[in-house]
């Protein structure tokens, strides 16, 4: 059985090499290391996931309307794009940019297909981030900070 530290290292390496995360996430981790809050990244993960889920629900509701309000869809798409970019969730941010482009074209089918892509990227990342948080807790249990 692999150690939690080894598993965490492999997971983080995968998330970066697969483009799920970028250097913005590294900066969050560096901030945590220099702060007195060892749970900062875990708190940010929780907030990112909650906000992302809410925005995805909003997007789905907006795009399921008979007459789509593309202005509101664009606002929500920029919302998830901004949060994803700040957090370091590169693939979610990229898919959100694509959604904004389909909104400009008022292309409902393109928007719906891109929302599915956003959902897939977001939920894949969310699951991996939750695993990361659990592994970090296990590592902390093995090697507590002084």
56-65 pLDDT, tens digit per residue, is: 999 999 999 9
- Predicted confidence at residue 146, as pLDDT, reads 55
User: Which are the contacts of 21, defined by CB distance < 8 A and separation ≥ 6?
Assistant: 12, 15, 88, 89, 90, 125
Residue ranges and CATH numbers for the domains of the chain are: 4-142 (1.20.120.160)
Q: Which residues of the chain have pLDDT under 70?
A: 1, 145-146
What does pTM read for this prediction?
0.93
CA distances from 51 to 13, 48, 68 (A): 25, 5, 22
């Amino acid at each position: 059985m692999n150690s939690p530290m080894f598993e965490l290292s492999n997971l983080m390496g995968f998330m970066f090499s697969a483009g799920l995360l970028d250097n913005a996430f590294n900066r969050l981790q560096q901030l945590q290391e220099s702060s007195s809050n060892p749970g900062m990244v875990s708190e940010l993960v929780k907030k990112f996931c909650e906000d992302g889920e809410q925005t995805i629900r909003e997007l789905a509701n907006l795009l399921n309307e008979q007459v789509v309000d593309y202005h509101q869809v664009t606002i929500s798409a920029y919302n998830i794009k901004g949060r994803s970019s700040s957090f370091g969730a590169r693939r979610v941010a990229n898919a959100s940019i694509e959604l904004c482009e389909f909104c400009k074209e008022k292309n409902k089918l393109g928007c719906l297909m891109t929302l599915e892509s956003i959902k897939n990227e977001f939920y894949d990342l969310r699951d991996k981030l939750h695993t990361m948080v659990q592994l970090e807790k296990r590592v902390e249990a093995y090697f507590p900070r002084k």
